[in-house]
Amino acid sequence: MAALTGSKPDPAPRGRSLLEDAALRFLRNRAATGAAGVLGLLVFFVILGPFLAEWNYEEIDWTTIGDVRTLGAPSLASGHYFGTDDLGRDLYSRTLQGARTSLLVGFVGAAVAMVVGTAYGAVAGYAGGRLDDLMMRKVDILLAIPSTLVIILLMVIFERSLLMLFVGLGLTGWLTMSRVVRGQTLGLRTREFIEAARAAGVSDSMILWRHILPNLLGVVIVYASLLVPEMILAESFISFLGLGVQEPNTSLGALIAEGAGTMGYGTLWQLLFPLSFFLLTIITLYFVGDGLRDAFDPKDG
């Protein structure tokens, strides 16, 4: 390349790492990059959208009360772009607020699960033997309890808050992650390059940090990306049941529940706006996750 023949004598050309390879493959996947673009716009809108709002999410527009069906319908004139909910609150602001909560729960929950699950799984897999048995038996038992029920239990027994929701989702989400990571680590541990590092006198913690973790990266990224929609689903489900985020805060699940409850009364927008945001989020997340998996695991190219 002509651009490289500069004055600086740096003769060794850069190689392309597996990560860069994966990034390139991902960028070539039109469905995935398209979805990532849509998702990016969505996040952008959810954050900046409130500046366009004329009502905030807890204000009640008393003028609509009594006839939400006609007065609360979506209109630019009234400033209720998405209409109002049954109590006369602005659905545009509420939907954005709900989407923010859902995305936050999704990403933070997945991040917590990723960190805990990776650390736990990598240690169990690398240690092996009795410790591994013990650690994995614990995971098996926890996995046997339906996770949504655990979260409901937690939300009931302790106070209902966003923090508790994070704790609950994090507490249950890392289990599968740790299993996957542990399986991968077991495979990595017997690979020759790990033995080579040990023969070179590299310490165990250094091996974990420098060899095991970077090689887990692909799997971890892929599973974490699939965890995000799962977390959003779980949160929405709990909020749908009225056991999640508390009023006046809301989430997409809660809004869908409210909208579904009133759809018999001709206020269909109350269901459709939150529902479209929800579907858009989940579908784009799935596309991105799928694209990541194809990029990191190019088996059926």
Task: By CB under 8 A, name the binding residues for another protein.
Answer: 11-19, 140-141, 144-150, 152-153, 155-158, 191-193, 195-203, 211, 214-215, 217, 229, 233, 236-237, 240-243, 253, 256-257, 259-260, 263-264, 268, 271, 275, 278-279, 282-283, 286-287, 290, 299-301
Nearer residue to another protein within complex by CB, 112 or 243: 243
Q: How far is the CB of 50 from another protein (least distance, A)?
A: 25
Nearer residue to another protein within complex by CB, 6 or 13: 13
Nearer residue to another protein within complex by CB, 112 or 155: 155
Nearer residue to another protein within complex by CB, 53 or 257: 257
In the chain, count of helices (H) and strands (E)? 12, 0
Nearer residue to another protein within complex by CB, 65 or 150: 150
Residue 240 in tokens: 């749908």
Q: How far is the CB of 190 from another protein (least distance, A)?
A: 10
Owner of token pair 């960190």 = 115
Q: How far is the CB of 71 from another protein (least distance, A)?
A: 23
Q: How far is the CB of 87 from another protein (least distance, A)?
A: 19
CA-closest candidate to residue 151, choices 251, 260, 261, 241 = 241
Nearer residue to another protein within complex by CB, 66 or 187: 187
Q: How far is the CB of 55 from another protein (least distance, A)?
A: 25
Q: How far is the CB of 243 from another protein (least distance, A)?
A: 6
